[in-house]
Amino acid sequence: MSEHHSHSIPHWHRRSAGEHRIPVLIVVLIVIALQYVLPDRLSMKFQSEICLLEALLLLGLLVTSPGRISRHRVEVRTLGIVLTSVMTLSNIASLFLLIRLLMTSGISSPNELLLSGGSIWLANVVVFSLWFWELDRGGPGARAEARELHPDFYFPQMQDPALGGSKWEPNYFDYLYTSFTNASAFSPTDVLPLTRMAKMLMMIQAMISLMTIGLVVVS
């Protein structure tokens, strides 16, 4: 294969060194901390146990995959999906508890409302960035091995040679940015969802974000 032809192959058709897990570790710890410090009225009765479970799942990920995520491993991806699912359910439960408190006039302090709503919104951004990261082309390990030919998310750098073209590949920050813009604008901005699963995740995230921001503004 000629060098020119090799460079013209899209990044998602080529193997890569894989991503470091450290950025993901940091954001997961942030979510665990946010969920742990929420007021008792916005947490489930066993919130401490949930946070402990999340920490143990994260520890399991670090033990089984401590360095670069250079290959697809079913057990590692399963751990990541279970961890993200637990964080998602915990955050949604806190949102419904916030709704119930607002309907019963259980929150009278604007500061408490802003801090609680902001915490739930931020956790929503991080949690769905992890979903996007785990979904796109089969997850970080599968992306490193170039297992999936068709992406779930289409980034502008994929089509414009001036922005990187075939040499560019997304990392976790790109999915975090996608999640933040979707939670802020309630719709895709420059990153387009291509598959039905990607569209469904973005729709659910936008709905949660809209409910959270709407509650804070209206109240």
pLDDT tens for residues 117-129?
889 999 999 999 9
Q: What percent of the chain has pLDDT over 90?
A: 49
Predicted structure pTM score: 0.88
Alpha-carbon gap, residue 166 to 9, rounded angstroms: 6
Alpha-carbon gap, residue 119 to 107, rounded angstroms: 15
Q: Percent helix, strand, coil in the chain (nearest 5)?
A: 70, 5, 25
146-177 pLDDT, tens digit per residue, is 888 889 999 888 776 555 555 678 899 999 99
181-198 pLDDT, tens digit per residue, is 999 887 777 899 999 999
Residue 139 has, within 13 A of its CA and on its CB side, a CA count of: 18
1-10 pLDDT, tens digit per residue, is 444 445 556 6
